[in-house]
Homo-oligomer: A and B are copies of this chain.
Amino acid sequence: MAKSGILFVISGPSGAGKGTVRGKVMEREVGLAFSVSATTRVPRPGEIDGLHYHFITKEEFEKMIENGDFIEYVAKFQNYYGTPKAQVESLLADGKDVLLEIETIGANNVRRMFPDAVMIFITPSTFEELERRLLYRGTESEKLQKLRLRIAKKEYKSMRRYDYIAINDDLDQCVSLICSIIKAERAKRSRNKDIVEQFNQIK
């Protein structure tokens, strides 16, 4: 049986920097497959269907929601964005490792769908730092900022369900830590039964 891939999930509150971290890890780490999100929004000039996004209609998207075809999805500015489950499953079956960036609510869902997923919680080292980042974004109303902080406090309650905690005070260090976690997980004995088997067959 071919070895299946590993699903890595980055999550954490708004302001933790999970999107930036994921982008940098994808650039650096060799051998991570890219999972293409589905969306109902109109393609921007130059965007290619199946490469940047799977562009589907609102009806198609809602049908997929009904069928439980998404690992997670969000509605933003009248459009849906989601991670199709089938695509991730097929990448993993091909032995490819996948890195997803997901909201904390979706992350709990991933754990149920993929019990072997490696769950990484990203956070600055203190709540004060998160507060500072959210408040100084500047592009958001005070009301929205306060809402985000209230949500963040709740999101920290789910920390205990994660396998790793990656402190993101320094972006480079955090990216390098995630890459280390990926390499270490690949070297776990439980994920290398083929090697153990091979050596145990020596007469």
Contacts and interface: CB of A to CB of B under 8 A. Distances in A.
Interface of A: 121, 123, 125-127, 153, 156-157, 159-160, 162-167, 176-177, 179-181, 183-185, 187-189, 192, 195-196, 198-200, 202-203
Contacts of A199: 123, 127, 156, 159
A148 to B, nearest CB: 14
A184 B200 contact: no
Contacts of A160: 189, 196, 200
A189 B167 CA distance: 11
Contacts of A167: 187, 195
A165 B196 contact: yes
Which applies to chain A's interface (DSSP): helix, strand, loop or mixed? helix
Q: Which 9 A-B pairs have the closest CB atoms?
A: A184-B184, A180-B180, A180-B183, A156-B199, A181-B184, A164-B187, A159-B196, A180-B184, A127-B202
28 contacts: A121-B189, A127-B202, A153-B202, A153-B203, A156-B199, A156-B200, A157-B200, A159-B195, A159-B196, A162-B189, A163-B188, A163-B189, A164-B184, A164-B188, A164-B189, A165-B187, A165-B189, A165-B195, A166-B187, A177-B183, A177-B184, A180-B180, A180-B183, A180-B187, A181-B183, A181-B187, A183-B184, A184-B184
Nearest to A185: B184
Nearest to A160: B196
Contacts of A125: 195
A31 to B, nearest CB: 14
